[in-house]
Amino acid sequence: MRAAPTILHLDMDAFYASAEQAAKPSLRGKPVVVGGLGTRGVVATASYEARRFGVHSAMPMAQARRLAPNAAYLVPRFALYRTVSDQVMELLGRLSPLVEPLSLDEAFVDLEAGGVADDSRSARAIGEQLRLVIRAVTGLSGSVGLAGSKMLAKIASEEAKPDGLLLIEPGTERELLAPMSVRILPGVGPATGDHLRRAGMTVVHDLVEAGEAELVRLLGRSHGAALHRMALGHDDRPVVAERDAKSVSVEDTFDVDLHDRVRVRTEVERLAGRCVGRLRGAGRSGRTVVLKVRRYDFSTLTRSETLRGPTDDPVVVREAAARLLEAVDTTGGVRLLGVGVTGLADFTQEDLFAQAADAREAEDARQAADARKAAEAERSGDDGPDAEEPPAGDQAGAPAPDGPGTGSVEPETRRWSAGHDVRHEVHGYGWVQGSGVGRVTVRFEEPGSAPGRVRTFRTDDPRLRPADPLPLVREPPDYSSWPASLPKSLSGAGVADEAESSP
């Protein structure tokens, strides 16, 4: 534990939903829900206006629609979120070489390592400056927690939400934690929380009173001892600049259960290709291929195969996933499929070229066998088992291969997803408000503009095309000298004065 609150935790407020409200002026101040829009989709983020109706992340989208039927429901736009996240992380990198990202919208920063803070006053001033600069650069708000440990800094940012700052002075940790729910502590999920509740422990003070021996008896030596230390406010974990990913995976949930075995295999191969794309994008390779199958009755099966060495070859991963699928009973239907790669490395072993060649030969043999079956079916007058099979991505609930209305998709097959960016030759830039029965409704507005007008077009209108997201702030102030000095457009009454009024 540090003697000064020089560990900072930043958490952007309702990140995805706030970004959508900033990009779409007509949605500001209104309930917005971002996530999968299918019947089996889940909420990724809900704006604070939507949370008042009880909507929260990880909630089934169908339940969210019942609670907030008049909210705006949008699909995620990760290209925009990653751009904004890069801007935020670049700002954090100016504060310290030790920045530990936890997700697109959350990170720890060691202010002491960056030499920008060494006591409570300087830490608070930097925290307030950071909030101001983030808002000026991205148009969004973030909450900041400052403490002498990572655990307490994260708790502080959560307590400061939304758009606030909370500094926990060293020495006050136990007093602050005592009345809080045990669920506030890392590692205490629903199951552990319920176990502690049955033992009469609901707040952190109860854990301190119970003592380490009792917690070890209830939870085991490792978990019990660690929980007792955290209840006392002790956490000596350092801020780690590089967090090594342990796996890369992708998965899809389908609105309608997949029953056709050929279709299931097609989806697994498609997911394997997406997984390898992410793997290569991260410059990694992996040794173990993992297949995840959730069946119609919600039972989830996981199968894995370890290769001779790390690979990033799509054929190798695809064939391994297909072999794993052969060992899974999909009778009754499949609602979710996932493919992942673990055992990551920064290289690919040379001997895997032979393995890839073997896999390609097996793939060629399979395709030849399929061709023979198709020829035999044609001679017998049968259309064959795959004649009516739609292309990958057309299944309800499955994403289109290249997203809605990309240039490689013919106009009549375009899929316009709610919230996606478009540009019309006459009316300019806008976003999809909804689509169906051959029509797409677009609201024409841009970040920073007044709420725009709504117009409806045919889904195959050649004048309407997909567009890239616009920046949330067109001309952000110059912050190249920050944190040595604050841009004049942000200084005003002074950071120190504002810091004194923070919670």
Check whether residue 161 and residue 16 sit in a common domain.
yes
Say if residue 236 carries a ligand binding annotation: no
R_g over Cα of the chain: 26
- Helix, strand, or coil here: 379? helix
| Pick from 456, 447, 414: nearest CA to 429 | 447
Q: Is the peptide bond before 483 cis (omega within 30 degrees of 0)?
A: yes
Query: Domain with 195 in it: what CATH number?
Result: 1.10.150.20
Check whether residue 149 and residue 54 sit in a common domain.
yes
Cβ contacts of 229 within 8 Å, gap of 6 or more: 235
Distance CA 188, CA 44 (A): 22
From 100, 106, 112, 267, active-site residue = 106
Please, which residues bridge with residue 181 across strands? 203
Query: Domain with 274 in it: what CATH number?
Result: 3.30.1490.100
Distance CA 161, CA 332 (A): 45
- Which residue, of 313, 346, 379, is where some domain finishes? 346
* Two structure tokens written together for 351: 């001997």
Check whether residue 38 and residue 124 sit in a common domain.
yes
- pLDDT value at position 374? 52
Which residue, chain included where needed, has tokens 């709610």?
Answer: 418
Distance CA 173, CA 180 (A): 11
The answer to whether the CB of 167 falls within 8 A of the CB of 8 is no
- pLDDT value at position 217? 92
* DSSP conformation class of 184: G
Q: Per the domain annotation, does 342 fall within a domain?
A: yes
Check whether residue 115 and residue 85 sit in a common domain.
yes
| Pick from 422, 479, 477, 441: nearest CA to 23 | 422
Cβ contacts of 145 within 8 Å, gap of 6 or more: 8, 9, 11, 152, 153, 154, 155, 156, 157, 158, 159, 160, 165, 166, 167, 168
Q: Is the peptide bond before 487 cis (omega within 30 degrees of 0)?
A: no
Check whether residue 162 and residue 179 sit in a common domain.
no
The answer to whether the CB of 174 falls within 8 A of the CB of 10 is no
The answer to whether the CB of 55 falls within 8 A of the CB of 31 is yes
Query: Domain with 15 in it: what CATH number?
Result: 3.30.70.270
Distance CA 296, CA 302 (A): 15
Q: Per the domain annotation, does 440 fall within a domain?
A: yes
Check whether residue 96 and residue 44 sit in a common domain.
yes
Q: How many domains does one find in the chain?
A: 4
One pLDDT digit (tens) per residue for the chain, 503 residues: 788 999 999 999 999 999 999 999 999 999 999 998 877 788 999 999 999 999 999 899 999 999 999 999 999 999 999 999 999 999 999 999 999 999 899 999 999 999 999 999 999 999 999 999 999 999 999 999 999 999 999 999 999 999 999 999 988 989 999 999 999 998 888 888 899 999 999 999 999 999 999 999 998 888 899 999 999 999 988 999 876 677 889 998 888 889 999 999 999 999 999 999 988 888 888 999 999 999 888 888 999 999 888 898 999 999 999 999 998 999 889 999 999 999 887 665 443 444 444 455 555 555 555 555 555 544 444 433 333 333 333 333 333 333 333 334 444 456 899 999 999 999 999 999 999 889 999 999 999 999 999 999 999 999 999 999 999 998 888 887 888 766 555 554 344 333 333 44
Range of the domain at 118: 7-167
Q: Per the domain annotation, does 112 fall within a domain?
A: yes
Check whether residue 341 and residue 323 sit in a common domain.
yes
Cβ contacts of 340 within 8 Å, gap of 6 or more: 247, 248, 249, 250, 275, 289, 290, 292
Secondary element (H or E) of residue 251: strand 247-258
| Pick from 351, 344, 99, 374: nearest CA to 242 | 99
In degrees rounded to 5, what are phi and psi of residue 450? -75, 160
Say if residue 297 carries a ligand binding annotation: no
Distance CA 121, CA 127 (A): 10
- Which residue, of 346, 378, 411, is where some domain finishes? 346
Q: Does the annotation mark 106 as catalytic?
A: yes
- Which residue, of 147, 167, 187, is where some domain finishes? 167
Q: Per the domain annotation, does 501 fall within a domain?
A: no
Check whether residue 129 and residue 93 sit in a common domain.
yes
Q: Per the domain annotation, does 154 fall within a domain?
A: yes
- pLDDT value at position 373? 53
Check whether residue 107 and residue 86 sit in a common domain.
yes
Q: What sign results for the dihedral spanned by CA atoms 120, 235, 142, 80?
A: positive
Check whether residue 155 and residue 16 sit in a common domain.
yes
Please, which residues bridge with residue 444 across strands? 453
Note the pTM of the prediction, 2 decimals: 0.73
- Helix, strand, or coil here: 247? strand
Q: What sign results for the dihedral spanned by CA atoms 107, 110, 116, 122?
A: positive
Distance CA 242, CA 362 (A): 39
- Helix, strand, or coil here: 485? coil
Check whether residue 118 and residue 163 sit in a common domain.
yes
- CB atoms under 10 Å from CB of 475, counted, come to 7
Distance CA 375, CA 351 (A): 37
- pLDDT value at position 206? 95
Distance CA 92, CA 307 (A): 39
Check whether residue 140 and residue 228 sit in a common domain.
no
Q: Per the domain annotation, does 491 fall within a domain?
A: no
Q: Per the domain annotation, does 353 fall within a domain?
A: no
Q: Per the domain annotation, does 433 fall within a domain?
A: yes
- pLDDT value at position 362? 53
